[in-house]
């Protein structure tokens, strides 16, 4: 059986309804790149008070049902109140229902060693969940270039490699790439302001923007990446290597979980 990877959903209003969903490219990358079964995890339900974070039992139930967690990108941003800031005026797109489930799940997954992979918004969620902060408008910071996509291009052009990153020598990404430099796409308006304590940088852009990190003290595989490795992952050695490594970690977690279940049944 393939491992089960929980994919955090966005929560959006559409045509008078509330929709929980994930863009297909992320589901495809989990299914084909990680060779896993993607299962969508909804955000907190709108009928419930959105100011209430999920009870611990909800987090426990989710982590008992999946072998790994994937945090995809999104047009929305992490609510700035989660890192001690106030919204810019006008406020940027938000998704409080996703925040309410993703932030406690990240902390719990890292505590337990559940394999965890965050992309774009997921990268930012991981930094915030661990105590870091964000620039709400990275492109307004002195010395930083504009990391947003060029809206005048078609989708292929927007996801084309946009700049280089330096991969940390001896890091996981450098080992997967077989090199210490790589070209990546760039489609984000926010970025790390203060890096969370206890993490190590895996990649950095030429303007100093942190592009990837991991938590070395967590007992399981984990990676946070600011660019979009899910886009045509099969055409890029580093991207395919990341999803392969994530899938391998999920399979190992699945084997351990099933072995534990057999032991409990025998006992």
Residue 267, pLDDT score: 59
Q: Is 120 assigned a catalytic role?
A: yes
Determine the structural domain holding residue 121 and report its residue range. Answer: 4-266
Q: What's the rounded Cα separation, in Å, for the pair 127 and 136? A: 13
Query: pLDDT by residue for the chain (267 residues), tens digit each?
Result: 899 999 999 999 989 999 999 999 999 999 999 999 999 999 876 444 445 545 666 899 999 999 999 999 999 999 999 999 999 888 899 999 999 999 999 999 999 999 999 999 999 999 999 999 999 999 999 999 999 999 999 999 999 999 999 999 999 999 999 999 999 999 999 999 999 999 999 999 999 999 999 999 999 999 999 999 999 999 999 999 999 999 999 999 999 988 876 556 555
Distances (CA, A) of 195 to 109, 123, 201, 210, 224: 19, 11, 9, 8, 12
3-state secondary structure 238-261: HHHHHHHHHHHHHHHHHHHHHHHH
Q: What's the rounded Cα separation, in Å, for the pair 257 and 21? A: 27
Q: Is 230 assigned a catalytic role?
A: yes
Q: Is 228 assigned a catalytic role?
A: yes
Which one is catalytic: 20, 120, 125, 188?
120
Which one is catalytic: 125, 202, 211, 230?
230
Q: What's the rounded Cα separation, in Å, for the pair 242 and 43? A: 26
Q: What's the rounded Cα separation, in Å, for the pair 242 and 29? A: 10
Q: Are 242 and 229 in contact (CB under 8 A)?
A: yes
Other residues' Cβ atoms within 10 Å of the Cβ of residue 152: 7
Other residues' Cβ atoms within 10 Å of the Cβ of residue 251: 19
Sign of the torsion formed by the C-alpha atoms of 79, 81, 82 and 84: positive
Residue 31: CATH number of its domain: 3.40.50.880
Q: In total, how many domains does the chain have?
A: 1
Quote the strand ranges of the chain, DSSP E: 4-8, 10-14, 17-21, 37-41, 68-71, 116-119, 133-135, 163-167, 181-184, 191-194, 200-205, 210-214, 222-225
Distances (CA, A) of 14 to 21, 47, 158: 11, 16, 25
Q: What's the rounded Cα separation, in Å, for the pair 49 and 96? A: 11
Task: Give the distance, in angstroms, between the CA of residue 7 and the centroid of all CA atoms in the same chain.
Answer: 9
């Amino acid at each position: 059986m393939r491992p089960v990877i929980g994919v955090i959903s966005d929560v959006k209003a559409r045509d008078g309804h509330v929709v929980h969903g994930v863009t297909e490219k992320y589901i495809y990358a989990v299914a084909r790149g990680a060779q896993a079964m993607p299962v969508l995890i909804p955000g907190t339900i709108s009928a419930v008070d959105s100011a209430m974070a999920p009870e611990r039992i909800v987090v426990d139930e989710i982590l008992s049902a999946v072998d790994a967690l994937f945090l995809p990108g999104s047009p929305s941003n992490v609510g700035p109140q989660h890192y001690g800031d106030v919204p810019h005026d006008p406020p940027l797109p938000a998704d409080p229902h996703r925040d309410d489930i993703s932030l406690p799940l990240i902390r719990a997954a890292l505590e337990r060693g559940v394999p965890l992979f965050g992309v774009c918004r997921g990268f930012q969620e991981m930094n915030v969940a661990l105590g870091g902060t964000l620039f709400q408008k990275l492109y307004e910071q002195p010395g930083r270039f504009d990391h947003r996509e060029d809206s005048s291009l078609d989708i292929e052009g927007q996801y084309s490699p946009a700049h280089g990153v330096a991969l940390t020598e001896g890091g996981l990404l450098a080992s997967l790439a077989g090199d210490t430099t790589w070209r990546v796409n760039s489609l984000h308006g926010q970025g790390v302001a203060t890096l969370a304590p206890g993490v190590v940088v895996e990649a950095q852009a030429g303007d100093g923007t942190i592009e990837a990190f991991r938590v070395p003290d967590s007992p399981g595989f984990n990676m946070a990446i600011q660019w979009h490795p899910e886009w045509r992952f099969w055409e890029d050695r580093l991207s395919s290597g990341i999803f392969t490594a994530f899938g391998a970690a999920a399979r190992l977690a699945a084997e351990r979980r099933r072995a534990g279940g057999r032991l409990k049944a025998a006992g």
